[in-house]
Amino acid sequence: MSKVIVSNCDSYELETLKASIQDAVDAAGGWEKFIQKDQKVLLKVNLIGPKKAEKAATTNPEFVRAVGQLVKAQGAKVYVGDSSGGAIAGMAPTKKSFTVSGIEKVADEEGFTIVNFDEVGPVLVELNDNYNKDLYITKIFSEMDVVINLPKMKTHSMGIYTGAIKNLFGAIPGLRKALYHKNAPNPTEFGEVLADIHCAIENMPLHIMDGVISMQGEGPTAGTPYYAGKILVSEDPLALDRIAIGMMGINPDRVSILSASIRRKIGEWSIDKIEVVGDASVLEKYQLPKGYTQNIVKDHSKVKNVIDFFKVVPVVNQKKCIGCNSCVDSCPVEAIDRETKLINYDLCIDCLCCHELCMSEAVDLKSNNKMVGVVRAISSLFYK
Ligand code: SF4
Ligand code: SF4
């Protein structure tokens, strides 16, 4: 039996948030069940892109502040991290996302350590019989004692819903996310990748969803804010998603992105095996994506073409390079030649470490396709 606590919370006012989150975590067993004094605790936020908090695309910065303060009160050290999406036009927006979302400011004020997954690099996790044989995921997870998942309650125009299970896709650093989208273009296959990621992470005992102001319509970035006034807490990410989906008025059979997690028993899905504490009634007039309401069958095979079209690769700009070798030493697969700084693309895993760590900004993201630059410029206008 899994348990999901649904706590009412009518604003992002700090004390209101803290009281609501505290009540919910108490009902889940109390902080001491999940965190010990002096532990390193990573808050895995949803930082999908450089979006301001009021757009409701990212975990709200005040929500991060509230959880962080409660974790810090347990004597733990707080880290806040993610890797933003950026497959389209090869942008590397994580750094900017921390700033624009307001999470960087909160972290500075509270003494939380920001972790840009694109900077710290990945580790290879062997998965044996799963969908992927292995996965490159951020190495920060293995350096933390505890990871707390802080998803945002949102609709998703392709996958219908995005929540606790999907939030871990950010564990894949850099542009490598595009490879998994390309190899698993439809929601059912992509759900296998998400289930793999959850199998690869062993120290994530708690999920706290920001549903105070959620996103409706064409999420995960182009929808509109919906005041839901809810915070969901669970040890079980799939059970949490099952309850959130019901509250949003989505038919659970239509969320194929979660079918792999259900089959592989990442958590509990059967509603009669989930104990709900609090008010999980259906939220009124929650707008769902058009693809859901109009039963549009999408041709997901085009995803591959779009990703190929916008493919970029890191290239060292020899004119700017000062030869410090920081990129060479940080590359997890030794793809950069120490003498020439040429990159072996057969080895490169698109993690973006070299691009993020070069203090001389000498690692460009380049494409042979001139349209990429145009689309990147246009896209950046919308990243506000
Ligand atoms: S980190 Fe930048 S400056 Fe240093 S060697 Fe690499 S490309 Fe050159
Ligand atoms: S060259 Fe190395 S550090 Fe740079 S993106 Fe490729 S794998 Fe990552």
What are the boundaries of each domain within the chain?
A: 2-293, 303-382
* 160-162 and 152-156 strand pairing: antiparallel
Ligand closest to CA 325: 1
Does the pLDDT value for residue 370 go beyond 70? no
Ligand closest to CA 363: 1
362 lines ligand 1 (CB under 6 A): yes
Nearest to 51 by CA among 90, 113, 11, 98: 98
pLDDT digits (tens, 9 = 90+) for 110-121: 999 999 999 999
pLDDT digits (tens, 9 = 90+) for 125-146: 998 768 888 899 999 999 999 9
Question: By percentage, how much of the chain surpasses pLDDT 70?
Answer: 92
CA distances from 53 to 60, 108, 167, 251, 380 (A): 6, 17, 17, 28, 17
Give the per-residue pLDDT at 128.
Answer: 78
313 lines ligand 2 (CB under 6 A): no
Residue 266, token pair as written in the block: 């990442």
Asked if residue 111 lies in contact with residue 332, where contact means CB atoms within 8 angstroms, the answer is no
Mean pLDDT of the chain: 92
Residue 328, token pair as written in the block: 């060479």
Nearest-atom index, ligand 1, CA of 357? 1
Residue 69, token pair as written in the block: 């303060």
CATH topology match: 2-293 vs 303-382 = no
Q: 274-300: buried (b, 16+ CB within 10 Å) or exposed (e) per residue?
A: bebbbebeebeebbbbebbeeeeeeeb
Q: Which CATH class is domain 2-293?
A: alpha beta
Nearest-atom index, ligand 2, CA of 351? 8
Q: Letter for the amino acid at 155? A: T
**Separation between Cα atoms, residue 235 and residue 227, nearest integer Å:** 24
pLDDT digits (tens, 9 = 90+) for 325-342: 999 999 999 999 999 999
Nearest-atom index, ligand 2, CA of 330? 3
Task: Tell me which architecture the domain covering 303-382 has in CATH.
Answer: 2-Layer Sandwich (3.30)
352 lines ligand 2 (CB under 6 A): yes
Does the pLDDT value for residue 229 go beyond 50? yes
Q: Across residues 85-99, what is the average pLDDT?
A: 76
Give the per-residue pLDDT at 372.
Answer: 66
